[in-house]
Amino acid sequence: MKYLESDIKLGDVIPNIALFLSKNSKKFGDKIVFYEKDNDGIYRGISWNKFYDDILNISYNLKNAGLKRGDKVVLFSRNCLNMLETELAIMASGAIAVPIFASFKKDTAELLIQHSDAKYLMVEGEKQLSELDEKLILKKIWTYDNKKMERHKNLFEYAELLHSRKDLNYSLCEDASPDAICLNMYTSGTMGIPKCVQLTHKNILSQQAAIHKILGINDTDRFLSYLPWHHSFGGIFELFSSLYNGSTFYLESSYGKDVNKIFENWKQVKPTVFFSVPKVYQSLFELTTQSKEAEEVFFNKGLKFVFTAAAALPEKLSNEFEKRKIPVIEGWGLTETSPCCTLTDPLLKRETGVVGKPIPGVSIRIAEDDEIQVKGPNVMVGYYKNNEANQDIFTSDGWYRTGDVGEITPTGLKLISRKDRIFKLSNGEKVIPSDLEKAIELKCHYVQYAIVAGSGKEHPVALIFPNKKLLEKPDYQISPDEGCFCPRSLNELGKCLTGCLAIANESIGQKFAKIKSAAIILDELSLDTNTLTPSMKVAPKNVVEKYRDHLHNLYGDNVPVGEEVYIVELDTHKLNSKCTK
């Protein structure tokens, strides 16, 4: 087996969340920890002193309401100060916080609440309450909007939890074991039987001790954040990176949904670091092309680095940061690893698929079947109430099986594919679809998602989902590469992709792994259709299932489909622009 670990020692780790909060409240005092916009659209901040005092009051009143160590509390809300203070108070009280996606519909929300065995529930407001059956068995429910609602029994106003504690000597659970579970987080791909990751104080705080030595984040930094806290990238990695280092955290008021508002907030906040996924970076960059002023606002001199995860930045966009000497840092990990395992070195030229070297304290090895395995203080205890998933998740010598396939290179770990996505053709040849998917997405500026399929067939094919918003801007053009014919409309996209797909195909060494045709589908992937996960990643199996008829047509069948679709035939280098409906 091949091994990889950091040259930097981890060092001391704060034992628990309670001690971490106490330490920072004393260290940062009147410094602003968190900003969010009020109803008038003005950013209002809260100091570490007031923040810590609120957490003490919430913890005190929760205990008086019956909360005990080990009890679980579900947080069913969008990001907000109330949710943040509540979550930290729960964790610092010896209980377990369970955040879930604020837009889950009734069936999923109730499934997760019941599966979690939560005794208490925090909801943002009427939207979340309307998704819950009034017969749902919970001791108490608190609502953040403090409106009188009669829909559920045992419903209370959140303001009650902020009442000043009567015992001024009250303290948080500073004696909590580092190995005590404090956070249960459902994986973004939750379908059917839930996978609930159990994380400890040590999991979360060891990671912060590690990345503190690498990223150089400090109390002068400003975060502008939209990443949801029910997901590990936003709720653990980004959020605690700010809290741990005493930085100032600004909540993005559109929750990442409106690029114009993100840009407006960016102009006000002037973030020094930014954590995001490629889709949002792409949308922001499109705005910078509109004026010199917009370009200067986004690529401001105070921007220390940008961080990307979930997928690599398209090469053209990565180059835009590079030529302005703004480092792009990429990380890799899973919810099960709290989540970060590796970080790229900003001093090295970025390589497609390479996600860097392990953070201090974390070890990585490549198994005989090329699966990436991880060991370290960041690795979860296990899945809650899921014996089937737990059965083979750890090796006999204690390494976590990630399900990712990779290899160790001189510049760090290189990701190849998810193990369960690799498929065989009818001739027995093995295809790694992510190789070509990455090549397509990085090559063509106008492709939002690409899914390669073909299990059991003679050759692979692809489903292409274009960036429709970009194509609807006739004045927006990029510098074309050789063989690329940048489209001015949706109707011209096929011509563009004929060249781009052919070039992407050439980057794949094995002839059998090249696609012969692709369907350009103008439908949108979304949360509602389960083709995107709550963390906005593509759910490949669900995409293949939903668009199975399009795949049949790519192999010569004639199945009627409801969406507008264009077929690109690569072996003839011609476009069949006839819409199949």
Note the pLDDT tens digit of each residue in 512-524: 889 999 998 888 8
**Cα–Cα distance, 433 to 462 (Å, whole number):** 9
Q: Is residue 298 part of a domain?
A: no
Q: Is residue 2 part of a domain?
A: no
Predicted confidence (pLDDT) at residue 400 exceeds the cutoff of 90 = yes
Predicted confidence (pLDDT) at residue 189 exceeds the cutoff of 80 = no
Predicted confidence (pLDDT) at residue 491 exceeds the cutoff of 70 = no
The pTM for the full model equals 0.86
Instruction: Indicate the pairing of strand 574-576 with strand 565-569.
Output: antiparallel
In the predicted model, what is the mean pLDDT of residues 188-192?
A: 54
Q: Is residue 69 part of a domain?
A: yes
CATH number of the domain where residue 80 is located: 3.40.50.980
Q: What is the pLDDT of residues 219-234, one digit of tens each?
A: 999 999 999 999 999 9
Where is the domain boundary, 144, 176, 208? 176
DSSP state of 252: P
Q: Is residue 511 part of a domain?
A: yes
In the predicted model, what is the mean pLDDT of residues 294-302?
A: 94
CATH number of the domain where residue 446 is located: 3.30.300.30
Buried b (16+ CB within 10 A) or exposed e, 510-528: eeebbbbbbbbbbbebeee
Q: Specify the 3-state DSSP secondary structure of 440.
A: helix
Q: What tokens were used for 353?
A: 């698929």
Where is the domain boundary, 125, 153, 176? 176
Scanning the structure block, which residue is given the tokens 């990429």? 330
Percentage of the chain beyond pLDDT 70 is 91
Per-residue confidence (pLDDT) for residue 561, from 0 to 100: 83
Where is the domain boundary, 138, 156, 176? 176
Q: What is the pLDDT of residues 53-95, one digit of tens each?
A: 999 999 999 999 999 999 999 999 999 999 999 999 999 999 9
**Cα–Cα distance, 218 to 244 (Å, whole number):** 9
Q: Where on the phi/psi map is residue 467: left (φ > 0), alpha (ψ -120 to 50), or beta?
A: beta
Q: Is residue 448 part of a domain?
A: yes
Q: What tokens were used for 568?
A: 């690109």
Q: Which residue has the higher pLDDT, 87 or 527?
A: 87
- For residue 88, what are the domain limits? 47-176
Q: Is residue 272 part of a domain?
A: no
Residue ranges with strand state E in 226-304: 248-251, 273-276
User: How does the average pLDDT of the chain come out, rounded?
Assistant: 89
Predicted confidence (pLDDT) at residue 581 exceeds the cutoff of 50 = no
- CA 525 from chain center: how many Å? 16
- CA 510 from chain center: how many Å? 32
Phi and psi angles of residue 108, each rounded to the nearest 5 degrees, phi first:
-70, -45
**Cα–Cα distance, 322 to 479 (Å, whole number):** 17
Concatenate the DSSP letters of all residues of 375-420 into one string.
ESTTS-SEETT-HHHHTTSB-TTS-EEEEEEEEEETTEEEEEEEGG
Q: What tokens were used for 112?
A: 């997760």
Q: Specify the 3-state DSSP secondary structure of 71.
A: coil
* CA neighbor of 463 nearest in space, from 378, 528, 555: 555
**Cα–Cα distance, 55 to 36 (Å, whole number):** 17
Scanning the structure block, which residue is given the tokens 């590469």? 481
Predicted confidence (pLDDT) at residue 445 exceeds the cutoff of 60 = yes
Which range is least confidently modeled, 79-93, 386-400, 487-501?
487-501
Q: What is the pLDDT of residues 90-135, one digit of tens each?
A: 999 999 999 999 999 898 899 999 999 999 999 999 999 989 887 7
Q: Is residue 463 part of a domain?
A: yes
**Cα–Cα distance, 382 to 336 (Å, whole number):** 8
Q: Is residue 333 part of a domain?
A: no
Q: Which residue has the higher pLDDT, 17 or 426?
A: 17
Q: Contact at 8 Å (CB) between 187 and 301?
A: no
Number of domains in the chain: 2
